[in-house]
Structure 1
Amino acid sequence: MSGGGDAKFFARGKVAELRIELNSDKKDKNHVRKKIALKKIVANMTMSNNDMAALFPDVVQCMQIPQLEIKKMCFLFLVNYGRMKPELALQGLPILLSDIEDNNPLVRALALRTLSYIHVRQFVEATVGPLRIRLRDPDPYVRKTAAFCVAKLYDHDRDLVEGSDLIDKLNNLLQDDNPTVVTSALAALLDIWERDGGNGGIRLVIDKANAGKFIQILPDCSEWGQTYILEALMSYVPQETAEASIMAERICPRLQHSNSAVVLTCIRVILYLMNYIASPQEISALCRKLSPPLVTLLAKGPEVQYLALRNALLILQRRPEVLRNDIRVFFCKYNDPIYVKVTKLELIFMLATEENIKEVLTELREYATEIDVHFVRKSVRAIGKLAIKIEPAARECIQTLLDLVSTKVSYIVQEATVVIRNIFRKYPNQYESIISTLCENLDSLDEPEAKAAMIWVIGQYADRIDNSDELLDDFLYGWADEPVEVQLALLTATVKLFIQRPTKGQDLVPKVLKWATEETDNPDLRDRGYMYWRLLSADPAAAKSIVMGEKPPITAETEKLDPATLEEMCLNVGTLATVYLKPVNQVFRVARPKKLEDSPALQKHLLPTVQAMAEMQAMISKQVVSSQQKAGTATDSDVAAAVDSADDYFASVPPGNMGIGGGVVNSNPFSGVMQSPSDLIENNYGAPTSTPFVRNSGIDCSLGNMGQPSNNFSQNNQGKDCTICTAKV
């Protein structure tokens, strides 16, 4: 019914009229009118807007007509309505069992397939006996159909299949002389194994002899048959590195196949076998062979391109030498869909090196002038990430960003502000000359992330920006309307301003702390406000070391997959899970997890998980050594004494005074510690009403003593007024 002339059948038909057509013209030996009536029934059934189940008895009668075309349509009707009308479907069961014994192999296969498709108990039980016989049918087409029927029957009733010998007979088909039968049996076994999920003890294991046979028949199979064989080879565990090398070389010709599924599955198998190959030279040679097929896939449609690109992202993390010199093929074309362009950007970033950075920056600069705003933002962000990734090219990347900022395009300025903040985190106290350029474009910032980034820059470099207090004050005008992300940034930046320039920050800090602790319902903001207030009250020197302390620079490696996920995803190259770049069980909950099987040939020391564990252990050992060096000659008795002292202290503190970090103590979060911001404002920083905890011996810290110079900050701040804490030595 695929021809253009069949369109006339897709008209809403009446059951009564169709019944008359099915039962009329009994003298027509060719059953022309019955065929037309059945085509109309199938068309109406396909449109799903007209129930044809009332014609069940009439269609069952037509099943007895010995014409393949009529049987196909009748069996299709039976499969469609069999589960809805099981009592009527049983009328066709004897006819199906009879047709399974037909002399025509096409009729036998069609009847067997129909019988296995109907999920009715009587049909399922009736399928087992004939299926055993058809698995040994002399015709390969029937054997192929029978193999798939075993998998279908397993889906209906796995206990019935496991209790019979059907799986053993299916295993025997792997030794069949016909490649199509072998691939069908493999496909059925793979489906059964996948549906079992590793819970029922069913497992596909392929030995060296069978693996060699499967590879030998690869050229004789259809493209889907080749996919099934390659998928099955993932169940073969090499016991020697030579086995893995030979097998990888034998399947390499499949990389030139025209079908993308065959190519991607072949890549997956080669990546799998690399884990069992010891020679670095052989691995490098295989990696070079993986590059051309991936590049070839980029000439196909955008959907296939996207799948190939997502898999390339995964492969590059595991085997960086693949595609190392092919960065130009990932440059975006004007007619690429946005999802392809964005993925290509990620690959360009991964493949960028010090040698090709000039070419990459030129390309990214062009992308940043395109019409699509989302793509432009991604391009600007990629330039900033390259400055972090490639340190020698940082200045060139920053100059490119400044050139883009000079265009005064709002979304470009905002993205550039965000990435420049990250550049400052990577290179602290460097490239500070660009701060003035950012300050000139403050009016362009209206997005929370960009505002938070600019506020961070102002707070971090408050001692270098002359009017930093005025800039922060401008941002504070809209405090109540800002999102939490911006409010948190303002709170931290204000505290940084006060620590670096107490005189200029003295008016802002109490106001911001009051807003953060008394006029917000966000727990994160309130807790941070309490923390800063207590910290500034108790120990200004500690506040400076904590808030303005040296922090580790950021890296560009944060977007990489964790080692366990990477190891698992490499075993799923070419599947839908790689599109999401997430563990398979997070995308498909019932999917069978895949893992590398142990063998003498497995190169465990090169696995991502093992390498990550070794790095972690080395880091822990380094930290332990460092801690021991700092501890000096501390003994176990010293530690025990310190613990006893802490226990005595906490035992002496009344329960009501144990508030920590913004909890309410005696209905006042500042009770017994310090006065609240509102009290300080009302008292105009007058005489203190309470005394905070004193952490530094010999230093008298009290709230509000204005006019006294603070000695608790660095020399740069000596002689300046500190309106929150005043220290007298």
Structure 2
Amino acid sequence: MSGEYLNSITENASRLGLRLQESLSEHTRDIAKGSSSMYYDSPDDKGRDIRKQLDSSSDREKLDAMKRLIALISKGRNVSEYFAQVVKNVASQNLEIRKLVYIYLLKYAEQEPDLALLSINTFQKDLTDSNPLIRAMALRVLSGIKVPMIGNIVVLAIKKCAADISPYVRKVAALAIPKCYDLDPSHLSSLIEIIVTLLRDRSSLSIGSVAVAFEAVCPTRLDLLHKHYRRLCKTLVDVDEWGQIDLLALLLRYSRTMLPRPLLNGEEEEIDKDVKLLLNSAGPLFFNRNPAVVLAAARVLYYAGPPSYHAKIVQPLLRLLSISKEIERVVLSYTLIVASASPALFSPFYSRFILSSDDLRQVKIGKIKMMLIIVTFDNYPTILREFIDYAEDIDDEVAAASIRAIGRCASIISECVQQSLTALIGMINSPHDTIVNTAVVVLKNMVQVQLTSRRPATIGLSQSPLVIISQLARKIDGIRHPQARACVVWLVGQYAGSEEGTPSRLEGVADWAPDVLRKMAKSFSQEASVVKLQVVTLAAKLFVLCPVDRTLGLLNQYTFLLARYDTNYDVRDRARMLSTLLSGIDASVPVTNDIDTPAEREGVVLRREQVRMVLFEGKAGIIDAEPVMTGPHVMIGSSSAVTGKPTLGEPILPDWLEKGVESSLRDTEEDIAPPPVVPIALSSAEQQKMRERVSLTPTSRPDVGAQGTSSKVLLTDLDKFYEEEDDEEKDEDEEEEGGEEEEEESDEEGESEDGHSSNESSQEGSVDDASSEEEDVNTLYRSSIA
């Protein structure tokens, strides 16, 4: 016996050795040929024997040829000349060869429609293959051949695969529906019928692809989802992660089109049960590993749920910020949308938006916007210090964004005006032009708001708005950015006459204002157009404030003469308009047209007070730009929110209806609740009748007959039931004598009746019968209660 066992082990070992040797030899040949990268690195002249390899009888040669063809396609080479040889291998038994042949056919079937039709029969035959992978692959290629004449064949193939037993094949059938619709839209009605069939599919593998087909073919036929809405919500958790994204988008659109809007009555919220079902079904998806699924679930809760549900999306969004830099860029854009509507949700988590040195530029700017939105009285000291530090960032855009945030923070929180002004004034001395220019623009806006608000100054005397303007006026030579220089010139001209009661060399004009005009007139020809416009306006304002000063008048004439011959027509037009206004004050003002005499000038001549009102009054206030772009296309999940620019083709979320459609349209047989189970009382006689079949519906005990009494005891007190059992035994004996026919219905009942009749002959047997009957009653009681 031991010898036979030893021989068997030796024989098996030898067979295993042969198999290992064959396997090693195969792998050795593969290593000798090199990895798959060799097909991409080899020159094109090595592909001359591809046609010979495709006609070879060896699967290894065919596979090598197909790999070379796919490599050439990836390089952008045209290899359509091998189409005839490739089509012949479409029925190969080797699965790898067949995959590559299918890829080749999808690429060149449109260029060779006649030859592609030769493989249609093979694909139709593969639709009946026992391997679901083969069936699915055949349908993918058949639907991917862009030849309009096979549209009917594709529809029949999709209809057949839609009823396949494999959920993977049904998934491929759903994905083939949009391809068929693009190929021939005339098959819309047939494709909708297939979609209706696939909507009944209870497999979580295919339902996500059905949502894709629905959105591509019939996005407006939301009435088809009535009977399936609740089931789709319940199976949402089991769908594959990429299918969950499309299914969530479809259910969100259905809810906003067919369901009533959640209402807020005081502190109570009125939410439709179907809306609540969708919200509760989307909640567990926040724990998904796919960030796209988490964002899709957040989109559902934000746009379909009441405000109480918005707090649930805060932590999932914050979690996604730390996954990767790319995901952080996208998630931060959507977080800005939520925070702009509900800043209080993210205010406690402001520390999560502090900048890191390795953040992307757009991420840094997005975080600055985020902290600006959620700034409050409690956290503004920390956030303002961060903004001041970010002003020294090496990126000019980030530094400029942080300086603008300082000014906006001062307009939001009045308590930080002093600290903001101190920081901005200190930035004017910076050696970096970007910091100086941005700080000047922000200071201009702050000063304008402070002087036009007519409120008591919240800053110290040394930091009054006019003192700030004087400091900017004296540093005009160090400010090089055109926009910043224009802001300073505008401030000087607008508030040059505000220091009434202050001693000055020119009556009604601040001392620093004429000096600014002198400097700007000297460099007028080198200034940008935006600066020239403000210089001409400054000259006109100073002349209106003090028309009697000869030096100021000469400086004004010189400025207008320079503007008269400027190359920019906007500057010339501005000078012509202002010179006409000033003609009523002093006729010596040069006019920038061909009419030189005051008598020949037409139109109304304004007095000095009227000209002053035109130049100084009616200025528009400061309008702060919104940190987040708004619009119907800007929402969670849209590309417009990420790019900051409107994108064509973005889906618009429909508005809620006043009243949704009838809830009964979504009712199914599964939603009908079964009747409640009520335990009942049974006598010992009824126990024998119900021994074979127990009914859990309420019934009443029949009359006993001779005694004319009916005892109906609820099974709520077992001790009471046993006490009344002895009184019922006499009644049961009489009923047993008249019920011999019922004894033949079952063996158990016959044995029980025989036991009762035998127990009548002895006193000792009656005791045993009572104990056995108690056990039967206990059994029936437990079964009725269950």
Post-superposition offset of 1:446: 1.4
96-105 vs 205-214, which deviates more? 205-214
Paired letter, 1:89: A
Deviation track 1:116-161 (CA, whole Å, cap 9, x = no partner) reads 1121223334312222211112221111101110011112222x22
- TM superposition score normalised by structure 2: 0.68
The corresponding residue for 1:554 is 622
2:322 to 299, 320, 323: 299
Post-superposition offset of 1:73: 0.6
Find out whether 1:255 has 2:286 as its counterpart: yes
Matches of 1:88 and 1:356, distance apart in 2:
72
Matches of 1:560 and 1:55, distance apart in 2:
55
Aligned-residue RMSD, C-alpha? 2.5
The corresponding residue for 1:8 is 38
Change in CA separation of 1:80 and 1:392 when aligned onto 2, cut-off 3 Å: same
Deviation track 1:521-579 (CA, whole Å, cap 9, x = no partner) reads 544333333332233332221221122115454243655545xx1x5423xx1221211
Paired letter, 1:273: A
Deviation track 1:225-262 (CA, whole Å, cap 9, x = no partner) reads 21122111122232263223453233222223221111
Post-superposition offset of 1:93: 2.4
Find out whether 1:417 has 2:485 as its counterpart: no
The corresponding residue for 2:49 is 17
Find out whether 1:569 has 2:631 as its counterpart: no
The corresponding residue for 2:61 is 33
Q: Secondary structure at the match of 2:206?
A: helix
Change in CA separation of 1:524 and 1:302 when aligned onto 2, cut-off 3 Å: same
Find out whether 1:449 has 2:474 as its counterpart: no
Change in CA separation of 1:290 and 1:55 when aligned onto 2, cut-off 3 Å: same
Change in CA separation of 1:512 and 1:203 when aligned onto 2, cut-off 3 Å: farther
Question: CA contact under 8 A between 2:143 and 2:179: conserved in structure 1?
Answer: yes
Matches of 2:64 and 2:470, distance apart in 1:
81
Superposed counterparts of 1:82-93, under 5 Å = 82-93=109-120
Deviation track 1:620-658 (CA, whole Å, cap 9, x = no partner) reads xxxxxxxxxxxxxxxxxxxxxxxxxxxxxxxxxxxxxxx
Matches of 2:433 and 2:68, distance apart in 1:
61
Change in CA separation of 1:377 and 1:81 when aligned onto 2, cut-off 3 Å: same
Find out whether 1:596 has 2:655 as its counterpart: yes
Change in CA separation of 1:322 and 1:505 when aligned onto 2, cut-off 3 Å: farther
The corresponding residue for 2:260 is 239
The corresponding residue for 1:338 is 361
Paired letter, 2:64: I
Post-superposition offset of 1:85: 2.4
Find out whether 1:166 has 2:188 as its counterpart: no
Q: Secondary structure at the match of 1:102?
A: coil
8-17 vs 171-180, which deviates more? 8-17
543-552 vs 450-459, which deviates more? 543-552
The corresponding residue for 1:615 is none
Find out whether 1:226 has 2:244 as its counterpart: yes
Matches of 1:550 and 1:357, distance apart in 2:
34
Superposed counterparts of 1:204-603, under 5 Å = 204-205=222-223, 210-237=228-255, 238-239=259-260, 241=262, 242-243=271-272, 244-274=275-305, 277=306, 283=307, 285-428=308-451, 430-463=464-497, 464=499, 465-502=510-547, 503=549, 505-516=552-563, 518-537=564-583, 538-539=605-606, 540-549=608-617, 551=619, 553-556=621-624, 558=626, 561=629, 565=631, 567-570=632-635, 573-582=636-645, 586-588=646-648, 590-600=649-659
Matches of 1:494 and 1:327, distance apart in 2:
48
Change in CA separation of 1:78 and 1:303 when aligned onto 2, cut-off 3 Å: same
Question: CA contact under 8 A between 1:414 and 1:444: conserved in structure 2?
Answer: no
Post-superposition offset of 1:109: 0.9
Post-superposition offset of 1:356: 1.8
Change in CA separation of 1:598 and 1:52 when aligned onto 2, cut-off 3 Å: same
Post-superposition offset of 1:61: 0.9
Deviation track 1:415-445 (CA, whole Å, cap 9, x = no partner) reads 1111111111211175322224323432321
Paired letter, 2:539: T
Deviation track 1:82-129 (CA, whole Å, cap 9, x = no partner) reads 122223322322222222232222111111111111212233343122
Deviation track 1:28-83 (CA, whole Å, cap 9, x = no partner) reads 4xx122112211111111221x3221111111111121232211111111111112
Deviation track 1:381-433 (CA, whole Å, cap 9, x = no partner) reads 22122223333322221112123334443322221111111111211175322
Aligned length: 569
Question: CA contact under 8 A between 1:376 and 1:412: conserved in structure 2?
Answer: yes
Question: CA contact under 8 A between 1:63 and 1:74: conserved in structure 2?
Answer: yes
Change in CA separation of 1:213 and 1:476 when aligned onto 2, cut-off 3 Å: farther
Question: CA contact under 8 A between 1:257 and 1:263: conserved in structure 2?
Answer: yes
The corresponding residue for 1:629 is none
Question: CA contact under 8 A between 1:115 and 1:124: conserved in structure 2?
Answer: no
Change in CA separation of 1:493 and 1:252 when aligned onto 2, cut-off 3 Å: farther
Matches of 1:232 and 1:206, distance apart in 2:
12
Paired letter, 1:526: R
Post-superposition offset of 1:591: 4.2
Q: Secondary structure at the match of 1:325?
A: helix
Change in CA separation of 1:576 and 1:206 when aligned onto 2, cut-off 3 Å: farther
383-392 vs 291-300, which deviates more? 383-392
Matches of 1:533 and 1:595, distance apart in 2:
56
Question: CA contact under 8 A between 1:206 and 1:236: conserved in structure 2?
Answer: no
501-510 vs 166-175, which deviates more? 501-510
Question: CA contact under 8 A between 2:142 and 2:154: conserved in structure 1?
Answer: yes
Post-superposition offset of 1:185: 0.5
Question: CA contact under 8 A between 1:469 and 1:505: conserved in structure 2?
Answer: yes
- TM superposition score normalised by structure 1: 0.73
Deviation track 1:279-334 (CA, whole Å, cap 9, x = no partner) reads xxxx1x32221211121111021111111111122222233333132221111001
480-489 vs 419-428, which deviates more? 480-489
Question: CA contact under 8 A between 2:410 and 2:420: conserved in structure 1?
Answer: yes
Post-superposition offset of 1:592: 4.2
Paired letter, 1:379: S
Matches of 2:197 and 2:92, distance apart in 1:
35
Q: Secondary structure at the match of 1:179?
A: coil
Matches of 2:244 and 2:626, distance apart in 1:
38
Paired letter, 2:235: I
Find out whether 1:80 has 2:107 as its counterpart: yes
Question: CA contact under 8 A between 2:368 and 2:405: conserved in structure 1?
Answer: yes
Q: Greater relative contact order: 1 or 2 (C-alpha under 8 angstroms, separation 6 or more)?
A: 1
Question: CA contact under 8 A between 1:389 and 1:555: conserved in structure 2?
Answer: no
Question: CA contact under 8 A between 2:433 and 2:479: conserved in structure 1?
Answer: yes
Change in CA separation of 1:240 and 1:399 when aligned onto 2, cut-off 3 Å: closer
Deviation track 1:471-497 (CA, whole Å, cap 9, x = no partner) reads 122122232332221122222222222
Question: CA contact under 8 A between 1:9 and 1:40: conserved in structure 2?
Answer: yes
Q: Which runs of 5+ in 2 are unaligned?
A: 1-29, 263-270, 453-463, 500-509, 584-604, 662-786
Change in CA separation of 1:592 and 1:287 when aligned onto 2, cut-off 3 Å: closer
Q: Which runs of 5+ in 1 are unaligned?
A: 195-201, 278-282, 603-729
Q: Secondary structure at the match of 2:222?
A: coil
Matches of 2:614 and 2:660, distance apart in 1:
50
